Amino acid sequence: MTTPSTERFEIALNTPAGRLTSAVDVPTAFIPVTAIVPLMRRLGEEAQALEEARSSEEGQSRSCQKGCAACCRMLVPLSPPEAFALREFIRSLTSEQQERIAARLAEAKSILLTHGLWNQLVELGESSQAPEDDTLEPVNQAYYALRMPCPFLDDDLCSIYEERPAACRELLVTSPAEQCLDMAKNPVVPIPVPVRIGPVLGLLWGELTNTPPRLIPLPIALDWAERHQPESRRTWQGTQLLDTALDKVWRFLSQTFQQSGNKPPANESTV
């Protein structure tokens, strides 16, 4: 069997919490966008780990623990590449696991239809315009008011933990865990997120397909990915795909530094 050719990239990212260096192997062949989703999530988690270490040094340790699922009642957004990757992951599970997930998704759809939210979520996912905060906030609040467990939650444990969205990975807090029980009333203290990988992948997909950036609400993600299945089969040259994705990461980091009033240092990648 022929081993696909890869190139190793040495990536250096300057984040507010310190410099991150990482090495990644990228196929030189043409690949679907889902192939770099794990890589991008890894970079995001490594950058987040620097912020978590800084918070811990300042006496603010993470309060999130396994089995704490309070935040799993929020409306989670995915980028199109993540939605496609989630569909692939679900299809790799056993028939029994897929049936359990399908049943929970059907139950969630019924609840959302009853409360007039399902069609709004579908419209968000299919919108030809980038979502605006004024449009998203009422939907987020109405969804959170239901206190509906994430359809992928199983006995307060994430059944798609390996493939959970970047937005889930990035929500870490240092405030007492009990305050997360009602985040609409209780202030929580999140650990800063230097670069949000979901929007990065959304921008990447928008550039690749010449479409506006979009975020897909998690409850409709599998339906959305099924409707857009032909798009998921498109491929791009691997190293060019990574270069384009890293460009979006650097822009996010540059904005983070500028918002803090600091001059953004140079980021780089080398083969």
pLDDT tens-digit profile of 161-208?
999 999 999 999 999 888 888 888 888 899 999 999 999 999 999 999
| Whether the predicted pLDDT of 6 surpasses 70 | yes
β 216-217/77-78 pair status: antiparallel
DSSP category for residue 158: E
| Whether the predicted pLDDT of 245 surpasses 90 | yes
Say how far apart CA 81 and CA 184 lie, in whole Å: 30
- Confidence bin at 1 (pLDDT 50/70/90): very low
C-beta separation of 197 from 170 below 8 A:
yes
User: How high is the pLDDT of residue 65?
Assistant: 82
User: How high is the pLDDT of residue 73?
Assistant: 92
Percent of the chain with pLDDT over 70: 96
| Whether the predicted pLDDT of 3 surpasses 60 | no
Q: What is the mean pLDDT of residues 223-239?
A: 95
| Whether the predicted pLDDT of 44 surpasses 60 | yes
| Whether the predicted pLDDT of 2 surpasses 50 | no
| Whether the predicted pLDDT of 143 surpasses 90 | yes
What end-to-end distance do the CA atoms of the chain give, in Å? 26
| Amino acid symbol at 5 | S
User: How high is the pLDDT of residue 180?
Assistant: 84
Residue ranges of the domains in the chain?
A: 6-270
